[in-house]
Amino acid sequence: MQLHIPDPDPTAQPSPTTLRVTGWVLAACGVSLIWMMTGLLVGFTYILLYQDQPGVTVSFTGGPLIALFVYALLSSILVFGFAAARGGIYQVRHGQRPPNLLGWVRFIVAAMSFAGVAVQILDLILD
């Protein structure tokens, strides 16, 4: 006995119910990223501001360019969390995929790449 699995239809679209469920998952992931990155940004800022105080056990040993890169990285992940939450909410409300979510993701990747290259160039220039 042979099991026959039909080939999936490449033009098939997921049902609105499936898209709403995945929208809830996407929104939850986005909100989780927002919470975590906000906490990390606040914690990192606290470390940078109060590392010279007496009795502090945590300090940042990187230079200002590395701090800039860390802020750029955490901020880009925060923006990605906002884009994911927005896309998830759109899916839940409309039962279809958000039209420009991929564009936001491409923009975030490009901005992060630019920030990384800019920090490396600034590091070479200032040293």
The whole-angstrom separation of Cα 73 and Cα 100 is 22
Residue 1's pLDDT band, with cuts at 50, 70 and 90, is low
H/E run at residue 11: none
The whole-angstrom separation of Cα 101 and Cα 86 is 9
User: From the CB of residue 9, how many other CB atoms can be counted at a distance below 10 Å?
Assistant: 7
93 within 8 A of 42, measured Cβ to Cβ:
no
- Measure Cα distances from 82 to 4, 62, 97, 108 in Å: 43, 28, 16, 11
**Looking at residue 43, what is its pLDDT?**
93
pTM (predicted TM-score): 0.75
Tens digits of per-residue pLDDT, 53-95?
888 888 888 888 888 888 888 988 898 899 899 999 999 999 8
Mean pLDDT of the chain: 85
62 within 8 A of 48, measured Cβ to Cβ:
no
**Looking at residue 26, what is its pLDDT?**
93
| Among the ranges given (26-40, 85-99, 105-119), the one the predictor scored with the smallest mean pLDDT | 105-119
User: From the CB of residue 7, how many other CB atoms can be counted at a distance below 10 Å?
Assistant: 5
In the block, residue with structure tokens 């890169």:
69
